[in-house]
Protein backbone atom coordinates (compact mmCIF):
# COMPACT_ATOMS: atom_id res chain seq x y z
CA UNK A 1 0.00 0.00 0.00
CA UNK A 2 0.99 3.58 -0.51
CA UNK A 3 0.08 6.83 1.17
CA UNK A 4 1.40 10.01 -0.50
CA UNK A 5 2.30 12.56 2.17
CA UNK A 6 4.01 15.94 1.82
CA UNK A 7 7.60 16.19 2.98
CA UNK A 8 10.87 18.06 2.63
CA UNK A 9 14.50 17.14 3.01
CA UNK A 10 17.40 19.55 3.34
CA UNK A 11 20.93 18.26 2.70
CA UNK A 12 24.29 19.80 3.49
CA UNK A 13 27.93 18.76 3.25
CA UNK A 14 30.62 18.06 0.67
CA UNK A 15 30.15 15.61 -2.16
CA UNK A 16 31.69 14.78 -5.51
CA UNK A 17 29.86 15.31 -8.81
CA UNK A 18 29.43 11.53 -9.01
CA UNK A 19 27.71 11.39 -5.61
CA UNK A 20 25.67 14.50 -6.53
CA UNK A 21 24.29 12.57 -9.54
CA UNK A 22 23.38 9.65 -7.28
CA UNK A 23 21.69 12.04 -4.83
CA UNK A 24 19.62 13.60 -7.63
CA UNK A 25 18.65 10.14 -8.89
CA UNK A 26 17.60 9.06 -5.40
CA UNK A 27 15.56 12.26 -4.91
CA UNK A 28 13.77 11.55 -8.22
CA UNK A 29 13.15 7.96 -7.10
CA UNK A 30 11.86 8.76 -3.59
CA UNK A 31 9.88 11.98 -4.29
CA UNK A 32 7.13 12.98 -6.69
CA UNK A 33 5.78 16.44 -7.51
CA UNK A 34 8.93 17.90 -6.01
CA UNK A 35 10.62 21.26 -6.18
CA UNK A 36 14.35 21.70 -5.89
CA UNK A 37 17.27 21.05 -8.19
CA UNK A 38 16.74 18.15 -10.57
CA UNK A 39 19.88 18.40 -12.72
CA UNK A 40 23.57 18.45 -11.92
CA UNK A 41 23.81 21.93 -13.47
CA UNK A 42 21.08 23.26 -11.15
CA UNK A 43 22.76 21.66 -8.16
CA UNK A 44 26.18 23.06 -9.13
CA UNK A 45 24.67 26.56 -9.39
CA UNK A 46 23.66 26.25 -5.71
CA UNK A 47 26.95 24.67 -4.60
CA UNK A 48 28.56 26.27 -1.57
CA UNK A 49 25.76 28.77 -0.94
CA UNK A 50 23.36 26.97 1.41
CA UNK A 51 22.11 23.53 2.30
CA UNK A 52 19.77 22.39 -0.46
CA UNK A 53 16.08 21.58 0.07
CA UNK A 54 13.75 19.37 -1.92
CA UNK A 55 10.03 19.62 -1.14
CA UNK A 56 7.47 17.22 -2.52
CA UNK A 57 5.38 14.14 -1.89
CA UNK A 58 6.60 10.66 -1.05
CA UNK A 59 5.30 7.34 0.20
CA UNK A 60 4.24 7.97 3.81
CA UNK A 61 6.33 11.17 3.66
CA UNK A 62 9.53 9.15 3.83
CA UNK A 63 12.64 9.26 1.67
CA UNK A 64 14.61 6.31 2.97
CA UNK A 65 16.82 6.09 -0.10
CA UNK A 66 17.89 9.73 0.13
CA UNK A 67 18.54 9.46 3.87
CA UNK A 68 20.53 6.23 3.46
CA UNK A 69 22.67 7.78 0.73
CA UNK A 70 23.31 10.83 2.93
CA UNK A 71 24.34 8.67 5.89
CA UNK A 72 26.67 6.45 3.85
CA UNK A 73 28.26 9.48 2.14
CA UNK A 74 28.61 11.66 5.26
CA UNK A 75 26.01 14.26 4.23
CA UNK A 76 23.91 15.89 6.93
CA UNK A 77 20.14 16.14 6.51
CA UNK A 78 16.95 17.41 8.10
CA UNK A 79 13.79 15.62 6.96
CA UNK A 80 10.26 16.85 7.68
CA UNK A 81 7.17 14.74 7.09
CA UNK A 82 3.76 16.44 7.11
CA UNK A 83 0.78 15.22 9.13
CA UNK A 84 -2.02 13.44 7.29
CA UNK A 85 -4.96 11.44 8.57
CA UNK A 86 -3.70 9.39 11.53
CA UNK A 87 -0.04 10.16 10.80
CA UNK A 88 1.62 12.85 12.91
CA UNK A 89 4.11 15.30 11.47
CA UNK A 90 7.70 14.52 12.33
CA UNK A 91 11.17 15.88 11.87
CA UNK A 92 14.32 13.80 11.76
CA UNK A 93 17.96 14.67 11.30
CA UNK A 94 21.38 13.14 11.01
CA UNK A 95 24.92 14.50 10.94
CA UNK A 96 28.17 12.56 10.54
CA UNK A 97 28.83 12.95 14.30
CA UNK A 98 25.67 10.98 15.15
CA UNK A 99 25.45 7.20 15.46
CA UNK A 100 21.72 7.16 14.71
CA UNK A 101 19.28 9.66 13.24
CA UNK A 102 17.03 11.43 15.72
CA UNK A 103 13.29 11.76 15.12
CA UNK A 104 10.66 13.73 17.02
CA UNK A 105 7.09 14.76 16.41
CA UNK A 106 6.68 18.22 14.91
CA UNK A 107 4.02 20.61 13.77
CA UNK A 108 3.38 21.56 10.15
CA UNK A 109 5.79 24.51 10.52
CA UNK A 110 8.65 22.08 11.24
CA UNK A 111 8.96 23.00 14.92
CA UNK A 112 9.84 20.12 17.26
CA UNK A 113 7.06 19.22 19.68
CA UNK A 114 7.62 18.23 23.28
CA UNK A 115 5.28 16.26 25.52
CA UNK A 116 4.30 18.46 28.49
CA UNK A 117 4.08 15.38 30.73
CA UNK A 118 7.78 14.70 30.09
CA UNK A 119 9.07 18.23 30.63
CA UNK A 120 6.84 19.49 33.49
CA UNK A 121 8.64 17.62 36.32
CA UNK A 122 11.98 19.13 35.27
CA UNK A 123 10.54 22.63 35.04
CA UNK A 124 8.90 22.28 38.46
CA UNK A 125 12.17 20.99 39.91
CA UNK A 126 14.16 23.90 38.47
CA UNK A 127 11.65 26.43 39.79
CA UNK A 128 11.72 24.83 43.24
CA UNK A 129 15.53 24.88 43.17
CA UNK A 130 15.44 28.60 42.40
CA UNK A 131 13.05 29.28 45.29
CA UNK A 132 14.14 26.75 47.95
CA UNK A 133 17.71 25.85 46.96
CA UNK A 134 18.95 22.47 48.17
CA UNK A 135 15.85 22.08 50.35
CA UNK A 136 13.96 21.35 47.13
CA UNK A 137 15.79 18.04 46.62
CA UNK A 138 13.73 15.97 49.08
CA UNK A 139 10.51 17.41 47.62
CA UNK A 140 11.22 15.75 44.30
CA UNK A 141 12.62 12.34 45.30
CA UNK A 142 10.50 9.45 44.00
CA UNK A 143 8.34 11.73 41.81
CA UNK A 144 10.08 11.08 38.50
CA UNK A 145 12.66 8.46 37.46
CA UNK A 146 14.81 10.97 35.54
CA UNK A 147 14.86 13.34 38.52
CA UNK A 148 15.63 10.50 40.94
CA UNK A 149 18.68 9.60 38.85
CA UNK A 150 19.81 13.24 38.64
CA UNK A 151 19.34 13.90 42.37
CA UNK A 152 21.05 10.65 43.37
CA UNK A 153 24.10 11.33 41.18
CA UNK A 154 24.46 14.93 42.33
CA UNK A 155 24.17 14.05 46.03
CA UNK A 156 27.16 11.70 45.76
CA UNK A 157 29.41 14.72 45.13
CA UNK A 158 30.65 17.42 47.51
CA UNK A 159 28.58 20.65 47.88
CA UNK A 160 30.13 22.82 45.14
CA UNK A 161 30.65 19.82 42.89
CA UNK A 162 27.06 18.69 43.59
CA UNK A 163 25.62 21.95 42.26
CA UNK A 164 27.73 21.80 39.09
CA UNK A 165 26.93 18.11 38.69
CA UNK A 166 23.21 18.77 39.22
CA UNK A 167 23.15 21.56 36.63
CA UNK A 168 25.12 19.47 34.13
CA UNK A 169 22.75 16.52 34.56
CA UNK A 170 19.71 18.79 34.26
CA UNK A 171 21.13 20.30 31.05
CA UNK A 172 21.59 16.82 29.56
CA UNK A 173 18.03 15.86 30.49
CA UNK A 174 16.61 19.07 28.99
CA UNK A 175 18.66 18.48 25.83
CA UNK A 176 17.15 14.99 25.50
CA UNK A 177 13.61 16.26 26.01
CA UNK A 178 13.99 19.44 23.93
CA UNK A 179 15.97 18.40 20.85
CA UNK A 180 16.87 20.99 18.24
CA UNK A 181 17.75 20.09 14.66
CA UNK A 182 21.31 21.12 13.74
CA UNK A 183 22.30 23.95 11.44
CA UNK A 184 23.47 22.43 8.21
CA UNK A 185 26.55 23.46 6.29
CA UNK A 186 26.10 24.37 2.62
CA UNK A 187 25.90 21.58 0.07
CA UNK A 188 29.19 21.84 -1.78
CA UNK A 189 30.15 19.89 -4.89
CA UNK A 190 33.91 19.35 -4.95
Domain harbouring 104, CATH code = 3.30.70
Residue 103's pLDDT is what? 93
Q: Is the same domain home to 10 and 95?
A: yes
Domain of residue 37 covers: 4-113+180-189
Q: Is the same domain home to 34 and 93?
A: yes
- State how far the Cα of 73 lies from the Cα of 165, in Å rounded to an integer: 38
pLDDT per residue, tens digit, the chain (190 aa), is: 589 999 999 999 999 999 999 999 999 999 999 999 999 999 999 999 999 999 999 999 999 999 999 999 999 999 999 988 888 999 999 999 999 999 999 888 888 888 888 889 889 989 998 898 878 878 888 888 888 887 777 666 555 556 677 888 888 889 888 889 999 999 999 9
Residue 159's pLDDT is what? 56
- State how far the Cα of 188 lies from the Cα of 51, in Å rounded to an integer: 8
**81 and 95 in contact (C-beta within 8 Å)?**
no
Q: Is the same domain home to 103 and 128?
A: no
Residue 157's pLDDT is what? 59
Whole-prediction pTM: 0.83
- State how far the Cα of 145 lies from the Cα of 141, in Å rounded to an integer: 9
Q: Is the same domain home to 57 and 39?
A: yes
Residue 72's pLDDT is what? 97
- State how far the Cα of 107 lies from the Cα of 79, in Å rounded to an integer: 13
Q: Is the same domain home to 72 and 107?
A: yes
Q: Is the same domain home to 138 and 87?
A: no
Bridge partners, residue 5, by sequence:
58
- State how far the Cα of 103 lies from the Cα of 78, in Å rounded to an integer: 10
Q: Is the same domain home to 121 and 140?
A: yes
Q: Is the same domain home to 30 and 85?
A: yes
Number of domains in the chain: 2
Q: Is the same domain home to 87 and 16?
A: yes
Q: Is the same domain home to 96 and 150?
A: no
Amino acid sequence: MSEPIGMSITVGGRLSAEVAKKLLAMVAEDLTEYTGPSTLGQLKALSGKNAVTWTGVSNYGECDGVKALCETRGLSYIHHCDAKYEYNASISWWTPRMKLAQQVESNQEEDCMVNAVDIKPLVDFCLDLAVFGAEALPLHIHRNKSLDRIIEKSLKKGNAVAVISLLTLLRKEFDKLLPVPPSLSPLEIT
